[in-house]
A and B are shown apart, each in its own frame.
Chain A
Amino acid sequence: MNVIAPERRADLTGQSHLGFIDCDVHPFVKSGEDFDPFLSERWREHRRGIGGRSRQGLGRNSAYPRMSPGNGMRMDAWPKGGGMPGSDLALMQEQLLDLFQVEYGLLAPLVGGAAGERNLDYAAAMAIAVNDWQVAKFCDPDPRLKGSIQITIEHEDAAIAEIERWAGDKRFCQVNIPPRGLEPLGRRRYRKILAACAANGFPISLHLGGTSGHASTGGGWPSFYHEEHPSYVQSMQTLVTSLVCEGTFEEIPDLKVVLVEGGFAWVPALSWRLDQSWKRLKTEAPSLTKAPSEYVHQHFWVTTQPIEEPERPDDMLAILDWIGPDRVMFSTDYPHWDQDDPRYAFKVKLPADWMRMIFRENARALYRLD
């Protein structure tokens, strides 16, 4: 790769990237106390006492430390007044929403720990608290920001109740489920929750993350963040495979799934492998009425970050073509260290209609943002 210093280029400023829809923005809390107004006294006490417990050795931070402070934050996104990057709406506006005239930003709250919490009652309470907090601190003060409903997938009744609580509320666009769960999402035990998402018009966002307690790779626990970071993609591949092969989309034809923060260049090869393997093993998956790749194309959307940077920048065009530019949506991942800048993320010039689709129209249509 030959990289040259990007100058401000006439063809980029004031053009397609301005007014885009950002499909991955992370709001953070200044501290856990921010959730207290949205928790009952019983759970406030629990939060202050035993606190969250997930399936990992370290209680609070990751055993795979990131390479910058705050578990992998953009270094220039720390608010001067204190608190985590992403916790200060004014700075988020300055560095993202206003700078790029972002039309809509889809929030992906990675806080509260509801998704991986082992105490399911606490998890359910925390999911509600995180949703109320998103609305109070971000969506209501800045209506460009749209929430993602947090649920705890191991508590079916609570999850469905929380999805239904926000049904029809335009402040929420989707339901967030992390790909690292106890079991892959196509398993029958999750079917009612997925059906509730579809019935209420919410796509599911599989935002990278979760603590399942399973090793990061099928071959065990790697040593380094250098491996942990790309291994999240493998969990995402497991879920795509599971949802397709289990016939989920035959049972819930309206289900739409968005892959968030996993990159996307891997999707074509996974589709080819699914088709190739299915050719021999189709008797095992009789509910499929067409090739797996067709389900992938019909039911999955991808967000771009962390955008792949092919050795030959031109290969990006082939990847987008293979996935279908109607299924790709731009995302920054602000304020993480590996976030993408809409001006420079693509190292190759895209056709104008692809730009419009990827930066705006696909998300607007999928999330009915008008």
Chain B
Amino acid sequence: MAKHVVARTAEIPPGGRKLVTVRGREIGIFNLDGEFFALFNRCPHQGAALCSGEIVSRLESALPGDYRLSRPGEMLRCPWHCWEFDIRTGQSWCEPNSVHARTFPVTTEPLVAETVDVTIAERYVVVTL
């Protein structure tokens, strides 16, 4: 396990994403309102590039005819079979207990680097794997 700096936080605005490669693995970095999350770019179902999927909301309903939208921008929809995953947890909408997109721990950290302008408190997105 090691920490990998994958982006400056400013590169990925809220609602945005960046695809990075760490140790040969494609990983999608997502910014949900200032919090960062990392998902393996591979759908657990048939291997599609999950992180290129649409960023969507939770569409839910208690009863027929009742339509509710919640947690806008916090779900990822696979570009192939439309399976939906929670960006925060990797849990599948349909089978949250048994189907997961793989996630990786993410932190944002200030880094001291000689190339960085010391007058700006820049932070970096760091993935652990």
Contacts and interface: CB of A to CB of B under 8 A. Distances in A.
B12 interface: no
Contacts of A299: none
Contact of B98 (A3, A340, A341): A3
A365 interface: no
A344 B47 contact: yes
A68 B46 contact: no
Contact of A68 (B45, B47, B82, B95): B82
A25 B83 CA distance: 22
A5 B53 contact: no
A284 interface: no
A4 B95 CA distance: 12
Interface in B47-100: 47-49, 52-54, 79-82, 92, 95, 98-100
A3 B54 contact: no
A63 interface: no
B36 to A, nearest CB: 20
B67 to A, nearest CB: 13
Interface in A332-367: 337-341, 343-345
B79 A341 contact: no
Nearest to B82: A67
Contacts of B52: 75-76
Contact of B46 (A1, A2, A76, A341): A341
Given A1-B99, A76-B52, A6 B44 contact: yes
Interface in A228-284: none
* Chain B interface, >50% SS class: loop
Nearest to B52: A76
A164 B124 CA distance: 67
Contacts of B101: 5
B48 A76 contact: yes
A75 B80 contact: yes
B4 to A, nearest CB: 19
B102 interface: yes
Given A1-B95, A76-B52, A344 B82 contact: no
A118 interface: no
B40 interface: yes
Contacts of B17: none
A338 B54 CA distance: 16
A337 B99 contact: no
B11 to A, nearest CB: 23
Contacts of B92: 3
Interface in A74-103: 74-76
Given A1-B95, A75-B53, A76-B52, A6 B47 contact: yes
A351 to B, nearest CB: 22
A306 to B, nearest CB: 9
Interface in A202-247: none
A75 B78 CA distance: 8
Given A5-B44, A341-B48, A76 B79 contact: yes
Nearest to B80: A74
A340 B98 CA distance: 21
A75 B47 contact: no
16 contacts: A3-B44, A3-B99, A3-B100, A5-B40, A5-B102, A6-B47, A68-B82, A75-B80, A76-B49, A76-B52, A76-B80, A341-B48, A343-B46, A344-B46, A344-B47, A345-B46
- Pick the 5 closest A-B CB pairs, nearest first: A75-B79, A344-B46, A341-B46, A5-B102, A3-B99
